[in-house]
Every structure is written in structure tokens, then in C-alpha cells.
Amino acid sequence: MEASQMRLGRLFDPTSGRAMVAAFDRGLGASAAGGGEDALGVVESLVDAGVDGLVISPGMLDRTRHLLAHRGAPAALVRSDFFFMGSLQPPGIAGPAEEYRCLITAGEAVAMGADAMVLFLILGNADDAITADNAAAVARTTRAAHAVGLPVIVEAVLWGSRSVDQSDAQALAYVSRLAAELGADAVKTQYTGDITSMRTVVDSCPVPVLLLGGPKSDDQDELLRSSAEALSTGARGLVYGRNVWQTDDPRASARRLHDIVHGLAATPVGA
């Protein structure tokens, strides 16, 4: 077994085989307003909730490392790239531009204490050269990460400005498989909204698939129900951001999702 696979295996619970991951890297790509202003407080609440992993930016990892420096702390999954999409920027600088850059090297990720690197792979960009550069960067970074024993989780999504349907099952199956072909150890992607089509995405991807949470939901019961439904497709876990840290009680929200992921809670009605 490679060291990168050993580290990835630590993310998943040995009994359920799944992982509940909280994502708190939104301030790097859009805005952490609406609940994420107190960064240290949010990270502390997520650690206390017992999440299995935490997606976090390099700078925020530097500032919260003391909260993760104990046995049983979440795995530090460091966001290692930046995808500028003008449509997601705060008012005043919005626009159609799309640009992709790697932020840190595999060696730098190891030095800062990361347990894995997280990279984007985004289809549907206005300029196909951006997509090609993105794919090449994923392949190169994955090789470098494996050389120093780090796994790579690729967020494979359809967020480019030319994308018509971000939950299109055929396109999600392709981008998820592409991520694996480029060397990803696990893939984070979007739920199609349908169990049958999502099973096709999961079954065609030869590495573990984790499902992202998407926009903030105002109905927590429906969120839990749909999360349980999504997990029934064979997905190995959830990676939720705003649906945790933008709630009134991030600690409780994360804990409820943790229990759903690991089969410790009753299945919500309708799931």
C-alpha cells in the first residue's frame, strides 16, 4: 500500500466505510460572509462536532493548526488551488472572467501539516485552454503529491460559464472518471438529484466518490433526507460547507450529518 492510500484510508470510518467532511474554504473562492466571519470559532465548532475531515485554505490552516493538533481531530484537507469565476465574486468585481492557478506545491502541503490536497477539475469553461491547463495541473500535482505520500481529492464539477446543467449525470460521470484517470485518489462531485443516475456516476468512477453540499438549504429535515438518499447510491461520504457553517448551530448541524453518514441516526422520513 502506498503512503498516500494509507493517509486517505484514515479519512474513512472503519465501521461505516464513510466520511463526513466539513468544507470551510469558501472564503478563498467566493465569500465566507453569513456565518464564516469568526473563522476560529467555526473551525473550533467543526472539530468539536467530530467531523472526519476539514477542507481548509492554506492560510486558515496556518491559523487553526492548534485546533487540529490532537488525536481524533479531523484530517486537514488543504485547498491547494484557486479558480477565479467572476460570477461568484462579491459585488463590485463581478464579471465573466475564468482563471485557474495552483497555489501550493505538494511539498508545501506536507510542510504545513496537510493530510491531503484538494484540487478543482471544472468543465464548461468559456475557454477550453483553461480546462486543459486545469487537467494538466491536476495530473502534475497528483504525481508530486504521491511522491511525498499525500493523497489528492479532486472536486470534479460542471461550474464553467458554458455549463447548462450542473447536475447532468452524463457530464458528471465523465468529469469524475476524468479526475480518476488523471490520478485522483478520491472525487468530490455533485449529486444528480436522482438515485439511479447517481449510481451510474459512482459505479463508473474507480475511486471513492464524496458528494458536495451545494447551496445553503433552509429546510434541515429535507437536507438530511436528501443526504441519506444520496448516500444510498454508493457514495462514500459528504463534503458540506454552507449547510453546516451558515446554520444557527454549526456544531449541531455537523453532528446530525455525521450521524446520517455513519448510520447512527434514524433514516429521515421519505429517504
**Given this model, what pLDDT does residue 214 score?**
76
pTM for the full predicted model = 0.93
3-261: CATH number = 3.20.20.70
77 residue type, one letter = L
**Given this model, what pLDDT does residue 271 score?**
47
- The SS3 of residue 128 is helix
Per-residue pLDDT of the chain (271 residues; tens, 9 = 90+): 899 999 999 999 999 999 999 999 877 777 666 666 898 999 999 999 999 999 999 999 999 999 999 999 999 999 999 987 755 555 555 556 688 999 999 999 999 999 999 999 999 998 999 999 999 999 999 999 999 999 999 999 999 888 889 999 999 999 999 999 999 999 999 999 999 999 999 999 999 999 998 777 888 889 999 999 999 999 999 999 999 998 999 999 999 999 999 997 655 545 4
Distance (Å, whole) CA 122 – CA 8 = 23
Residue spans of the domains in the chain: they are 3-261
**Residue 252 Cα distances to 26, 56, 69, 212, 226, angstroms:** 20, 20, 22, 19, 18
